[in-house]
Amino acid sequence: MQAQVDIRSWLHKQNDWLQEAVDRLLKKGQLDGADIAALVALIKTPDGRKASKHRAFAELSQGNAEHRELRLVKISEISGIESLAPRMPLEFGSENLSVIYGHNGSGKSSYTRILKKLSGKPRASELKTNVFKAAPATSKCHITSQLNGQETVHEWHVGHPTIEALRDIDIFDSDEASHYLTAESAATYIPPIVSLFEKLAGVVEQVRDALTAEQSRLVTSLPQLPAIYDGTPSKRLYLSIGTAVAAVLDEALVWKADEEKQLLALTERLKAEDPAALAVHKRRTKAELQKIIAALTDADRAYAGSCFQSLRDLRQAAAQKRQAAVESAKVNMAELDGVGIPTWRAMWEAARAFSSTPYPQHPFPVTHAQARCPLCQQTLDEQAQRRLEDFEKNVQGKLEADARKAEGLYTQALEALPRIPGDEEIATQCEAAGLGAQEWPGFLKGFWKSAALTREALLNNEAAAPVLPVAPQATNITALAEYSEELAQTASQYDADAVQFDRAHATKEKLALEARKWITQQAAAVRAEVERLKKIKEYEDWKALTNSRPISTKAAEVTLAVVTDAYVARFNQELKALGAHRIQVELVKARTRNAVVLHQIRLKGSQDAKSQPNGILSEGERRIISLAAFIADVCERPGSAPFIFDDPISSLDHDFEWAVACRLIALAKTRQVIILTHRLSLYGVLDELAKKVGDDWKKQHYRAMRIESYGGAAGHPADQEVWNASTKKANNLLLNRLAVAKKAGESDGAEAYQRLAQTICSEFRKLLERTIEEDLLNKVVLRHRRGIQTDGRLRDIQGILLEDCKLLDDFMTKYSCYEHSQSSEMPVVIPEEPELRQDLEALGIWRDQLIKRRAAVA
C-alpha cells in the first residue's frame, strides 16, 4: 500500500524519540506511564533529537483480521434512572431487526440515553432520577450483551465509568442529527494506519505534559529584591539574570573590600552632624595609627632575620676583644687563673672605688711602704706591689679599652631593640587607632608575643638555641598604611563636607552600594537561579519538539487519501440510497486538529459561504441528511455492532420514510438494528419490507415490540401477543386478561380491577382499529403499509352492512377515551367486568359472523 510506504519514509525523517513512540504504538496499541517516561528521557538526549533509520516499522503492513460481533440482548433491573421502572426486561432477542413502538413519554428516549451514557458516546446526556419521586439509594441497570456469541451481564451505575465492551454501539438520535449538521466532526471509524497519527498526537501531548510537569517543579528559590532597591542599577541586573553575560554576572556577585569601605564611608558621612569635628577625630585616629605602624615597622626590621647577623657580629667582636684583654692580663706575677675576666674586672673596679676611701690623696693602686691591699688589707711586699701595678697597667691598657668599647657597642645594640608592649597597651592602641575589630588586636598581640620571644633570645645571647625571626610584616604594614591614607582622605572629605555636602546624591550612592551588597549575599541563590533558567530553557527546547502540527499535517495528507475520500463517497451513496441526492449538500474536510481530520456538511453551490444547512434546509431535509452522514460515518467499522435509531423518521414525509425503512432493512441483513419509534407508519413499513425480504428472514430476524408508560413509570414492555397476534386471537387474549382482572378485583378490591381493566380498554381500542383494517376492509388498506393490495380482497368488501358500521362506530366512540386524551370535564369511567366482557364477546361474535357471511357469498 502506497500510504504505508509514504508513512514509513516520513517517519525516518523524524526525530528518534518520535520514531520510538510510533514503534511502541505499533507494537502495544496504547502506551502506559513507563512508555511516556522512557520517551521523556529519550527526548532529552542528543541522539533522541536526531533522525534515525534503524526501525523497520513492519507492523504498518500488518492488517487487522479480528472480527467482532457485538449484540445487545436485554436491559433489565433498571432503578433510579429517569422515569423508567419496567416490570420486566426489555429484550432484543436473537433477531437482527427490533422495532420498538411507544407513545410519547413511554420511555423510548430514556432507553436511548442509558445506552449512550454507558457506551461512552460524546454527546450523551446526564441521566437524572424521577423528579416526582424520592431520590433512590442507587441509580443502576443491568445490560446483557453478546460478543462473538459469549454472553456477558454488565451491572452499571450512573456516574460510573463507561462499559468498554459496549463502546462500539452506534446510536442515532436528535442530538446526533444536530451534531452532524452543525459541528465539525471526525470520522467515527479511522483505519489503524490513520488512527496511528491520532494516537501519536496524543502521545506527543502526554510527553509535552510530562515535560511541563517536570518543568513546573523547577521552582525558583531566588529571594525577592527589597522594594527599597527598585531604582538601583542592581534591580535591572537582578531582573535580567537569565540573559546576563557570565563574566558580568560573576563580577556582580563579588563584593569587593573597597566597596565595603566606600559603603562604610558613605554611611558615616550621612550620619555625621559635625563633619569638621569628625575630620579632627579622623586625623587623631591616624596619628595613633602611625604609632602602631612605626612600632610594627621597627619591630619588623629589628626582629627579622636580616638584623640578627649584625648583633651576632657585635657579640662576637666583644667576646674576641675580651678574650684578647684576658690573655694579656695573664701577667707573670698572677697566681690565679681568670685575671682579666669580667668578674675579676668587676672586683678590680670595686677595689679601685674602695681605695679612694682609705687613700683619698693617692691614685689607685696605692703601693707605698705603709699601703695595704684594698682587698685583703694586708701590707704589701715588693712582689705584691709590683703585681698590683701590673694589674692596673693591664686594665688601663689598649686591649682592655678595645674590649670595653666592643662590649659597649653590643650592649647598646641590645638596648636599641624595640620594646614589647603589653596586651592592655596593645588593646588601647588599637582602640585609639580605629582597629577595634577583633582580628587586628589579636594579630598584634600574637606578633608582639612572637617578638618578645625573639627579643628574649637575643638578650640571652642565643644561649639556648639560635633565635627565630618573626614573620615578615610588609603586607600588614602596607594594609595599615592604606588605612592611614583612607583616614587622611576621609578627614579631607569631612573637611569638604563641612563646607558643602550633597546628601541626596550620597544617599543614592549608598543605596546603590547596599543593593549590590545584597545581591552578592544572594550569590548562591542567583547561581542556582541561573542554572534553573538554563534548565527551563532546555525544557522549552524539548517541548518545542513536541509540536503536533507536523503530525496533524501528515495525518491530514494520509486521511485525505485513506479516509476522507472514502467517507465522502459513502455519504454520497447514502444520500442516494435515502432519496436525498437532490439536496444541495456535500461533505468536505474542514480542518485538522491534533492529527484528527474534521469533516463538515456544507451547502453545495451556496453564494453565501457563511450559510449553514441547519439554517437553510427544511426540518425533514436536515433529518435525512444527518441520517445519511451518520450511516456513512459508522457503517464501515470492522466487525458487527448494534445500530440504535431513536425516531429516525422524525419530520420525514412518506417518501423519505420509505427510503429510510429500506435502508434500515438493508443494514439489518448484516448486523443488529434496534429502532425506537412513535410512528406506527414506520412500524407498518418495516413489517411490509421485512416480509418482502422473505418470510423465513422475517421469522428469523424481525422482532416487533411495544413499550408503554403506566402509573408515572415508563418503559414497560407491553403484551407482545396482543400486539402481534391476529385480531381473533387478540380478542381472546383480552378476554383472558379480563378474567385475571376480575380475580384481582375480587381479592384486592375495585382499584386493582380498574388498574388492569384500563389497560384492557386501551388495548381493545387499538384492536378495534385493526379490526376495521384487517377484518372489515379485508387488509386492502393498512395505515402502516405503503401500498394498497386489491388482488382478491376488494370482492369481500361488498359484504359490509350498515349494522357492521354502526357496531364498530359505537365501539370506537365508547373506547376512544381510553387511548386518547379527554377533557377534564369528561371523567373516564372504567366499565364493570360484565359490560367489558359483553363488548369483547360481541366483537368476537361479529367477526365470526362476518367471516361466515363472506364465505357464503364466495
DSSP string, 780-815: SS-TT-SS---TTTHHHHTT--HHHHHHHHHHHHHH
Distance (Å, rounded) from C-alpha 502 to C-alpha 203? Answer: 66
Distance (Å, rounded) from C-alpha 476 to C-alpha 430? Answer: 14
Asked whether the whole model's pTM tops 0.75, one would answer no
Q: Is 207 exposed, middle or buried (0-12, 13-18, 19+ CB in 10 A)?
A: buried
Query: Alpha helix (H) ranges present in 709-749?
Result: 720-724, 727-748
For residue 721, what pLDDT is reported?
A: 64
Q: How confident is the prediction for the chain on average, in pLDDT?
A: 85
Distance (Å, rounded) from C-alpha 149 to C-alpha 155? Answer: 19
- The distance between the two most distant Cα atoms of the chain, rounded to a whole number of Å, is 215
For residue 642, what pLDDT is reported?
A: 95
For residue 332, what pLDDT is reported?
A: 47
Percent of residues in the chain assigned helix, strand, coil, to nearest 5: 60, 10, 30
Distance (Å, rounded) from C-alpha 555 to C-alpha 491? Answer: 81
Q: Which of 55, 13, 43 is nearest to 203 (CA)?
A: 43
Q: How confident is the model at residue 311 (pLDDT cuts 50, 70, 90)?
A: confident
Residue with grid cell 471526525, as numbered in its chain: 186
Lowest mean pLDDT of 8-22, 127-141, 292-306, 309-323, name the range: 309-323
Q: Which of 68, 16, 15, 156 is nearest to 640 (CA)?
A: 68
Q: Which of 848, 725, 670, 633 is nearest to 180 (CA)?
A: 633
Query: What is the Cα Rg of the chain in Å?
Result: 61
User: Does position 815 have pLDDT exceeding 80, yes or no?
Assistant: yes
- Which strand (E) or helix (H) includes residue 426? helix 423-432
Q: How confident is the model at residue 823 (pLDDT cuts 50, 70, 90)?
A: very low
Distance (Å, rounded) from C-alpha 259 to C-alpha 513? Answer: 7
Chain segment 691-709, per-residue pLDDT in tens: 889 989 989 999 988 888 8
Higher pLDDT, 24 or 363: 24
Quote the cell numbers at residue 798.
Answer: 361488498
Q: Is 109 exposed, middle or buried (0-12, 13-18, 19+ CB in 10 A)?
A: buried
Distance (Å, rounded) from C-alpha 789 to C-alpha 776? Answer: 14
Provide CB contacts within 8 A for 503, sequence distance 6+.
270
Average pLDDT of the segment spanning 483-501:
83
Domain borders along the chain are: 73-191+550-688, 260-303+420-504, 309-415, 719-857
| CATH class held by domain 73-191+550-688 | alpha beta
Average pLDDT of the segment spanning 511-516:
89
Chain segment 167-218, per-residue pLDDT in tens: 999 999 999 888 888 888 777 766 777 788 888 999 999 999 999 999 999 9
Residue with grid cell 436536515, as numbered in its chain: 622
Say if strands 150-157 and 140-147 run parallel, antiparallel, or are unpaired: antiparallel
Higher pLDDT, 64 or 467: 467
